[in-house]
């Protein structure tokens, strides 16, 4: 395993971001990039899903919305826009999710 600590529990709480993993995930062609991307998806899927649920969506709608967001995140290469100098990765994801879902309207 290239990224120690990858087996975290399913929690609605956002964990501290390891920017080395975010940066590695940008390279989706290499094995390290694929593993990093997989780790990010595992670590952030449930906290984002929980956020959508707390915003009032049903369990099924929240699953669909979260999955659609991750699809967009990958298709549009959102990770290339994440910048450690501009703030926390969780904030970046939440803002992107809100814009994607219009949860903030």
pLDDT of residue 17: 86
CA angle 48, 57, 43 (to 5 degrees): 15
- Closest to 17 in 3D by CA, of 2, 33, 36, 35: 36
pTM: 0.83
- Closest to 46 in 3D by CA, of 67, 19, 73: 67
Q: Which helix (H) or strand (E) holds 91?
A: helix 89-101
What the block records as the tokens of 105 is: 């309207």
Tell me the pLDDT tens digit for each residue of 16-59: 889 999 999 998 888 999 999 999 999 999 999 999 999 999 99
Instruction: Judge: domain 19-101, CATH 1.20.1050.
Output: no
Reduced to 3 states (helix: H, G, I; strand: E, B; else coil), residue 33 is helix
Q: Which residue has the higher pLDDT, 11 or 37?
A: 37
Contact between 98 and 104 (Cβ < 8 Å): yes
Q: For the chain, which residues make up each domain, given as ranges?
A: 19-101
What the block records as the tokens of 84 is: 């450690």
**Using 50, 70 and 90 to split pLDDT, how confident is the model at 80?**
very high
């Amino acid at each position: 395993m290239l990224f120690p600590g990858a087996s975290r529990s399913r929690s609605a709480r956002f964990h501290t971001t390891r920017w080395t993993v975010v940066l590695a995930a940008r390279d989706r062609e290499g094995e390290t990039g694929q593993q990093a991307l997989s780790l990010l998806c595992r670590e952030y899927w449930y906290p984002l899903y929980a956020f959508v649920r707390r915003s009032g969506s049903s369990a099924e709608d929240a699953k669909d919305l979260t999955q659609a967001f991750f699809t967009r995140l990958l298709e549009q290469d959102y990770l290339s826009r994440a910048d450690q100098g501009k703030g926390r990765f969780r904030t970046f994801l939440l803002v992107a999710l809100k814009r994607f879902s219009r949860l903030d309207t």
